[in-house]
Structure 1
């Protein structure tokens, strides 16, 4: 059984933060719940500096401003594992991001150990310990938390601390510490920027099917939905689903009676949002239509260009012993081809930036797609 401090009062938090401020390394993890909400509900924060393992209760301590200052303290390396969702939590509750950031999953990838290794696999590989993941789907908002929950949470930072020296050795042997820290900076970029309500329509699946006039309707609908979701802290799909917004933009009902005849909306959506939807549709700016969504994946030559880039990256990944999915995922290849197509040399895609650019830019110089 691991020993830990359960932090649930301001005095204990102040003492803990003062100790952590003297540390060079702080291991972090969070436990949260997200079912029907837009934002994750933060249930627990785990932290460990090698001396004190703390489980911090954000339910009992709604003001964690002291703790959040640690994340931006550049004298302290923040160690996490597969931290994308943790970064979202830090942005939401702390309005901050960790710097410098050392992600153990990325360290494993850049060391040639494999792409996307889970925490349990990493612990087993280095420490030959089997981690019990039985509490991973538990309710972290309930109080009191059980002993099993607390031990599970403590394990997540305790063993990650034990892994750290071996990961540092591996990443230094590969001479890729700068790559790792660069990835940490990239992952935190833009996290504190609120979602753009005016561009929400571009994230709706199948928006490319619509003509500019229909997109004008989709634009106001998507903006309305996002605002309502943020205000109610509700998942977007629990307001109105994407396919229903597409149907509304195509058919543009003028009255609630017409809207109720649409099979694309649920009875719940019609009953709770019908009147609002009709009002929103009437606000569409038909004098300033959005541009048609340009889907380059449907253009001639896209598939062959994509395949050519993927083949080049595969060879480079073998040469540099880094998973091809990490050097150039499908999204990064698409972003690169989009950049080529629109000929915007000043706005380089991620594939051509930083350590990735150093590896691939010469090999990709001959790719043409327009």
Structure 2
């Protein structure tokens, strides 16, 4: 049974933060609930500096501002495991990102433990301890939290603090510690930038199927949907589904009868949003429609070029003992190919930046790719 402090008032938090400010290392985790909401609902924050393990109740504490400020202290390394969703929580609730971020999942990958390793597996491999994950699907907004829930939450930072030195040792042996912090900088970049409403249509599934004129309709619909989602804190799919937006952009109903005859929309969507949708469709800028979406996978020579790059990266990954998923994923290869097709005038692709560049640039430059 781990010993921890349960922080549920402002005075206790102030005292805790003062202690943590003296630390160079702060291990964090968050527990949250996300079902129908756009933003995750923060239920618990776990923190450990090697001296005090604290479970901070964000439902009870009225102001967490001083805690969030800890993440921005240059002298403090923030340690998290598989932190993408935690970073969303920090951005939403604290309007901040860790200044110096160490993601133990990425570190484990670079150490050779395997890509995408879960926290429990990493603890088992490094500390030979099997954790009980029985509370992983718990409701973290419900109060009071049970003893089992609190102990489960405490485990998530206690053992991470204890395995951290092993990861550091292995990374330093391979001269890869800087790579982890570089990945941390990349992951936190632009997290505080609000969603681009005018670009929301690009995230609608199958938008590439539409003509420029149809995209003009989709653009106003997707912008409206995202505004609704943000204002109501509702997942976009619970406003109107993607396939319904595509159907509206294709059919462009001009009357209630035309809209209510559409099978792509649910009866509830028609009833709640029908009037707004008809009005929105009239605002589409057909004189200045978006460009057709360029689908890289449909380009001539894509398959052979992708395969050549993938084979090249796999060989490098095996030689350097780096997981191929981390070195060059499908998305990274797409980005690189798009950059080539664009004449190398757009933003430098990830494969040619930072630690990846040193590993792959020469080999990629030697490839003879078709139709590029």
Answer yes or no: same fold by TM over 0.5.
yes
8 Å CA contact 2:10–2:61 kept in 1: the answer is: yes
SS of the equivalent of 1:218 reads helix
Alpha-carbon distance between aligned partners in 2 of 1:102 and 1:256, rounded to the nearest angstrom: 54
1:256 aligns with 2:256: yes
Q: Report the Cα offset of residue 326 of structure 1.
A: 0.7
Q: Report the Cα offset of residue 343 of structure 1.
A: 1.3
| Within-5 A mapping of 1:112-127 | 112-127=112-127
Runs of 4+ in 1 over 6 A off after TM superposition: none
Counterpart of 1:351? 351
SS of the equivalent of 2:32 reads strand
Alpha-carbon distance between aligned partners in 1 of 2:47 and 2:256, rounded to the nearest angstrom: 53
Counterpart of 1:98? 98
Q: Give 5+ residue unaligned stretches, structure 2.
A: none
Deviations 1:171-192 (A, max 9, x none): 1111101111100000100100
SS of the equivalent of 1:363 reads helix
Q: Report the Cα offset of residue 346 of structure 1.
A: 5.2
Deviations 1:14-60 (A, max 9, x none): 00000000001000000000000000000000000000000001111
Alpha-carbon distance between aligned partners in 1 of 2:135 and 2:31, rounded to the nearest angstrom: 10
Counterpart of 2:65? 65
1:148 aligns with 2:148: yes
Question: Quick check: 219-228 or 108-117, which moved more?
Answer: 108-117
Q: Report the Cα offset of residue 74 of structure 1.
A: 1.0
Alpha-carbon distance between aligned partners in 1 of 2:231 and 2:308, rounded to the nearest angstrom: 45
Counterpart of 2:6? 6
Q: Report the Cα offset of residue 146 of structure 1.
A: 0.7
Question: Quick check: 59-68 or 33-42, which moved more?
Answer: 59-68
Alpha-carbon distance between aligned partners in 2 of 1:279 and 1:351, rounded to the nearest angstrom: 44
Counterpart of 2:215? 215
SS of the equivalent of 2:45 reads strand
8 Å CA contact 2:9–2:62 kept in 1: the answer is: no
Counterpart of 2:51? 51
Q: Report the Cα offset of residue 366 of structure 1.
A: 3.5
Alpha-carbon distance between aligned partners in 2 of 1:311 and 1:321, rounded to the nearest angstrom: 15
8 Å CA contact 2:339–2:346 kept in 1: the answer is: no
Alpha-carbon distance between aligned partners in 1 of 2:220 and 2:198, rounded to the nearest angstrom: 8
Q: Report the Cα offset of residue 267 of structure 1.
A: 1.0
| Within-5 A mapping of 1:129-208 | 129-208=129-208
Alpha-carbon distance between aligned partners in 2 of 1:260 and 1:292, rounded to the nearest angstrom: 28
| Within-5 A mapping of 1:238-253 | 238-253=238-253
Counterpart of 1:290? 290
Instruction: Report the TM-score when normalising by structure 2.
Output: 0.98
Alpha-carbon distance between aligned partners in 1 of 2:346 and 2:298, rounded to the nearest angstrom: 25
Counterpart of 2:280? 280
Alignment size in residue pairs: 370
Deviations 1:272-291 (A, max 9, x none): 11111111111100111110
Instruction: Report the TM-score when normalising by structure 1.
Output: 0.99
Alpha-carbon distance between aligned partners in 2 of 1:60 and 1:7, rounded to the nearest angstrom: 9
Alpha-carbon distance between aligned partners in 1 of 2:51 and 2:268, rounded to the nearest angstrom: 53
Counterpart of 2:364? 364
Counterpart of 1:16? 16
8 Å CA contact 2:8–2:57 kept in 1: the answer is: yes
